[in-house]
Amino acid sequence: MTLPKFDYAEPKSLRQASALLRQQRGKAMLIAGGTDLLQALKNRLKTPALLVDLKNIPRLDHISYSEKTGLQIGAMVSLRQLANSAVIKEKYPMLVEAALAVGTAQLQAMGTVGGNLCQDSLCQFRDRSPMARLMLEPCLKLGGHVCHAVSGSNKCWANYSGDLAPALLALHARVTIADSTEKKKIPLSKLYSDDGKRPTRLRAGQILTVIHVPPPAPHSGSAYLKLRLRKTIDYALLGVALYLSMEDGDAVCKDIALALTGVGKAPFLVKEAEQLKGKQVGDAEIAQVAEAAFKQAHPLSNIGGLTPAYRKEMVRVYVRKAFGVALESAGQDA
Ligand SMILES: Cc1cc2nc3c(=O)[nH]c(=O)nc-3n(C[C@H](O)[C@H](O)[C@H](O)COP(=O)(O)OP(=O)(O)OC[C@H]3O[C@@H](n4cnc5c(N)ncnc54)[C@H](O)[C@@H]3O)c2cc1C
């Protein structure tokens, strides 16, 4: 498949990049590693007039850590760079697990953290060659009026399948969004729209620049577990990320966050998990959280591989497993 024609710009500052995006309102797109975007271009799913490359903008590929403020990851840090970082390996092993779960080694070398968070959602009724798409009426994500995944729905149900988002959500991450006039820091959960048509709430000219993660608490543990058919290349059919910290010496939970990916229009936090704060974490409590996660998950048949019913059933199983791993890494008996 060949790429369509487009203009290409390599701005040297965020201000320039944002200005280019705004001038071309809707007709320009950012490109980082290109691993998600270029396949969409080849399939003519997107036809931007201009690609604005972020690679020449200084300081976007830095990782820094301080005990006081925690971790800062530039949006252009590659997944491989993240997975090889000594401080991330030591303090945030779940991020390494999630980065190494993405696609293949080649995709991890090229793909960036910002691109991973802002990747498009997937739907097998849309993500096909132009020829194969001729068999179906254009769907909502392609500017049409139907959803082939949920017949009769006026919402697009394309599935969000990114691996880093759940891990960062569970770690209470915030992101900096910049445009040509201002920078603002928002919780990562606010980045996502819960609309398969446009998975992020970013407007024309807005660029995700930095991801901020608070320092891990003492006696904390985490787990990222991904369901897929093959051990490589496959997107998540379900991803479960759990972070928790415990009181010193007993099984009382101080902090907890559970997030899921691959089973809905956006990655999401399971709020019921927070009810475990200040409580002993036993089998009954874990089962309750697993049940809440099960209820919130909406896997559909628009992603190939395993049936929606099986993926939904696996939510309970993976949440229980994640508790076992996270409690053990926090120094508790699982
Ligand atoms: C075969 C295959 C398998 C894959 N498997 C997985 C997988 O298992 N898990 C997974 O998570 N991903 C997977 N991916 C998707 C992709 O490779 C990764 O998500 C990668 O991290 C995307 O990063 P990128 O830098 O290449 O993004 P790009 O392709 O450059 O950009 C992706 C999107 O994000 C936008 N964007 C990029 N950077 C920014 C920014 N800083 N601010 C605002 N918008 C931005 C772009 O405009 C574009 O819309 C797979 C891709 C392929 C082709």
Q: Which residues contact 333 (CB under 8 A, 6 or more apart)?
A: 327
| 223-233 pLDDT, tens digit each | 999 999 998 99
Residue 85 is predicted with a pLDDT of 98
Burial class of residue 68 (count of CB atoms within 10 Å of its CB; 0-12, 13-18, 19+): exposed
Q: Is a pLDDT exceeding 90 seen at residue 180? A: no
Instruction: Give the mutation target among 46, 119, 159, 164 for probing the ligand 1 site: most ligand atoms within 8 A of CB.
Output: 119
Domain ranges (residues) in the chain: 1-56, 221-329
For the 1-56 domain, the top CATH level (class) is alpha beta
Output the CA 65–ligand 1 centroid distance in Å: 24
Q: Is 71 in the pocket of ligand 1 (CB under 6 A)?
A: no
Q: For ligand 1, what atom is nearest to the CA of residue 75?
A: 41
> Is the Cβ atom of 167 under 6 angstroms away from ligand 1?
no
Cα separation, 215 vs 8, in Å, equals: 39
Q: For residue range 8-23, what is the model confidence (pLDDT) as tens digits?
A: 999 999 999 999 999 9
Q: Is the domain 221-329 a CATH 3.30.390.50 member?
A: yes
What's the Rg (C-alpha) of the chain?
Answer: 20
Q: Is the CB of 233 under 6 A from ligand 1?
A: yes
Whether the predicted model's global pTM rises above the 0.85 cut: yes
pLDDT, one tens digit per residue, over 93-102 is 999 999 999 9
- Residues 300 and 123: their CA atoms lie apart, in Å, by 9
Q: Is the CB of 262 under 6 A from ligand 1?
A: no
Cβ pair 185, 174 in contact under 8 A: yes
Average pLDDT over residues 110-119: 98
Pocket test for ligand 1, best of 10, 18, 35, 50 (most atoms within 8 A of CB): 35
Which pLDDT band, with edges at 50, 70 and 90, does 251 fall under? confident
